[in-house]
A and B are shown apart, each in its own frame.
Chain A
Amino acid sequence: MNKQFEIIENKLNGYEQFKSAELDRIKKDKPAASSSNAEHIFYDLIGFLAKDDKQLEVRLLYYFHAYQECLSFCRANSMTLATAKLDFIEKNLLFDMDPKSNLGMEAIFFPMKAFYFHKIKKYDEAVQLLEQSIQRFDLLTQHKFLQAEDAMLEQELNICRVFLQSGKHSEAIAAVGKLTLHLDHNIKQKSAKENAGHDAIHYFINSVLHTCLGSEQKKMVGLFSEVIRNFLAMEACGGKNAPAYYRLLEAWLKNQKEIFIFILCSEMETLFRSPGMVQLLLIAYLIVITAESDYPGKMELCDLAARYSKDVIRIESEKFQKILSATINQQKVLK
């Protein structure tokens, strides 16, 4: 065990050298959109709906940017402005276009309104709206709008987020199960682009784990386990070419410390370079392992890991930082 810790220590020391540049990148890397095209689904939709109709194009653009403005008010907690904008939209931007355009714009209007309801803590209404959006996208698939599949997954992810944030954990885990089922199906359909599938999994798992960080501290580990279990049950996570973090998460799930450390040592640079919550899990677990061990350099190792973690976590979640601080303090008491 001590030998393995030495390797980790060396790796972490080496990591310090590229830390500053990498950290800047990681800080910006909140879970990014799964699609390689970072643009909003609307830009696919407008090409689909208003390909040869400039009049409709301007109208759809106007609707879309009104929705975006309402969202930005919500994000800034400017709820008076957001309420007024939503009121304006509902009174003036009617769904009285051709049926396909109505479907498309409703499909992106409902998630915006769901976010508004989520901000004012009307979670049930938010979930209903997200379900309506999925329904609209589903109908759009029948019109051969292929990108609707990805958009549906995004809304399923949003449902998970709303359940997690409203404390409805069993509903959240059920929603995660549904999401992974559809994600697996989606990836199989796009089997030619295997890497894109792993990118998508990475994005969705990080996004859900990221939302879990907002949960109560004592429930977080349980939530992590359930989420990871659901994702690892996907067929797409198997196979010899699967990214190392699946195996690492599996070891975490099964509490296989030796295997966890082995993967960590052999794949550390790759793992640390992949953005998102996976690193946080690794570091948290590393701290837990070292806290339990009699490794002589464990304090330095913990401090190093915690220092790195804090940099990442500062922008992610105060709660997670508290967990780490509590762990470190516990170790100091033990020492």
Chain B
Amino acid sequence: MRFKQSFYSIFADSPQKSDGSVEKIIYSTRTGMAMVITTEQMELISKQSFFQLPSWLLDKLVQGKIIVPEFENEFETCLQENKNFLDDSQTLSYTIQPTGNCQLGCNYCGQLHRNVTMSRKVMDDVYARIESFTTNRRFNHLDVTWYGGEPLMAADEIIYLSDKLIKLSGEKKIRYTADMITNGFILSGPKMIKLVEDCKIRAYQVTLDGLPEYHDQSRPTKQNRSSFQKIYSNIKEFVFSSLFTEHNVNLTIRLNINRLNADGVIPFIDFLHEEGLSDKVALDFQGIVDWGSNQASAKSFHISEFATKEIEWMVHGINKGFDFDGLVPKRQYGVCMVVDKNSEVYDATGNIYPCYELPYTPGFEDGQNLVGNLSKLAERKDDKDVPLRMWNENVKDEKYGCNTCTYFPVCGGGCPKSWYAGSVPCPSFKFNMDQRILIQAVRQAIKPQTLKP
């Protein structure tokens, strides 16, 4: 039996030692394991001279799938694992978009907002649909994401449906978790107690694209007024509340970034730090991409350029006390919810989709990925007729390049919707993994042992 260095292993520089010498870090995208080795050991691994390595290191390298059998087709193995993982999943995951309405008119948003809110009939249909999935005893976790439009414009509907779903989870003895993607404009008032305590919504994502001079350019209200101050004060009040602390609520501030607001990222990080939010919120930097046919990416960075800037922002953020989970990514068995046939998205009219970026979006909402409607379940499409659902079959196609990409095991192939729309949705870590590993190593002051992802 012969062995080889895994295609899915990457070398990076380790932080310089006090004597000036440099060690290396080897990272496996198949397992997420990373470890410090000497340059001599790196050379031995590169030359496949494994038998000269010490036993303790061989053990770690085999365990971390950095040394693998020559006969193994690693891409096929990883892809098959991804498929098998879905069959074993014990989580039911749903995104509910109870309204198509929103107060903001973000200049990169692909949705066409309209004053439609989920009716009682549709909510009951959503409940019945989810209940039908819970009869499979394999599932022990029900996870709901509330999205819109702006979900808080349908707070009563969220409260009604949450109550039913939480009771259902209790009856079925399964764990219930919920999170919300909100613009934060009305993330305040007495309803927050209900949302956090009764509806168990314990994680929130709110977008702020920088300080007012940047944010209000990209995310004004529909009346073209400033939204920053209101959103920011809501965030601040929420994260400093006892409600937030006592229930271990998480809040992530997402920044959608292109050439127009990139210069504002570091001042914004400084602002949040001065306001005392460093240990209260997480930061998520995302490049602006096309949504539907809106050409929103016209002013965006190429992903490699974005990756370089992202590292600057992360380092600055870390120095200001922000934490960045997942700096070095772990094995990703599923690219996202679209490949999981038990995960669905419901819009306010009862339409069923595999992806939450499709509802209310011209060009997408009536397209080939519309699965059907809750009121006509018998007429819904088979998974094989919904292109997004078939990503794990199509990712093998050489035109995407995923079958020859070192990062496939930690990426899963990127956003299928973007691939099908003609974009290249490779993750930023493909272009800045060296620096990510280095930052993680510095943060953990690692010894010659494994690095936590």
Contact = CB atoms under 8 A, between A and B. Distances in A.
Find the residue from A46, A57, A77, A79 having the highest chain B CB count within 10 A.
Answer: A57
Nearest to B68: A62
Interface stretch (B79-87, B121-129, B218-226): B79-87
A92 interface: yes
A177 B88 CA distance: 39
Contacts of B378: none
B63 A65 contact: yes
Contacts of A68: 63
A59 interface: yes
B264 interface: no
A80 B62 contact: no
Contacts of A54: 50-52, 58
Find the residue from B3, B50, B84 having the highest chain A CB count within 10 A.
Answer: B84
B115 interface: no
B1 interface: yes
B393 interface: no
Interface in A74-96: 76-81, 84, 92
B340 to A, nearest CB: 14
Nearest to B90: A77
Nearest to A46: B55
A209 B90 CA distance: 30
A81 B50 contact: no
Interface string B63-83: 100011101000000001100
B3 A84 contact: no
A68 to B, nearest CB: 8
Interface of A is mostly: helix
A92 B69 contact: yes
B51 A55 contact: yes
Given A81-B84, A92-B71, A58 B90 contact: no
Find the residue from B3, B68, B88 having the highest chain A CB count within 10 A.
Answer: B88
B59 interface: yes
B221 to A, nearest CB: 47
B87 A57 contact: no
A61 B88 contact: no
A79 B88 contact: yes
Interface string B344-355: 000000000000
Contact of B55 (A57, A79, A80): A57
B51 A58 contact: yes
A62 B88 contact: no
Given A65-B63, A92-B69, A92-B71, A58 B58 contact: yes
Given A84-B80, A92-B69, A58 B3 contact: yes
Interface in B382-402: none
B85 A61 contact: no
Nearest to A79: B88
Nearest to A43: B59
Interface string A146-163: 000000000000000000
A73 B87 CA distance: 13
Contact of B88 (A46, A57, A58, A80): A80
Given A81-B81, A92-B71, A62 B51 contact: no
B67 A58 contact: yes
A174 to B, nearest CB: 34
B50 A58 contact: yes
A320 B55 CA distance: 45
Contacts of A58: 3, 50-51, 58, 62, 67
Contacts of B1: 59, 62
Contacts of A92: 69, 71
Contacts of B68: 62
B62 A61 contact: yes
Given A55-B51, A57-B55, A77-B90, A62 B69 contact: yes
B87 A80 contact: yes
Nearest to A59: B1
A301 to B, nearest CB: 33
Interface string B159-198: 0000000000000000000000000000000000000000
Contacts of B88: 73, 76-81
Interface in A24-72: 46, 54-55, 57-59, 61-62, 65, 68
Interface of B: 1, 3, 50-52, 55, 58-59, 62-63, 67-69, 71, 80-81, 84-85, 87-88, 90
7 contacts: A54-B51, A61-B62, A78-B85, A80-B84, A80-B87, A81-B85, A84-B81
What 8 pairs across the A-B complex have the smallest Cβ distances?
Answer: A54-B51, A78-B88, A80-B87, A61-B62, A80-B84, A81-B84, A80-B88, A65-B63
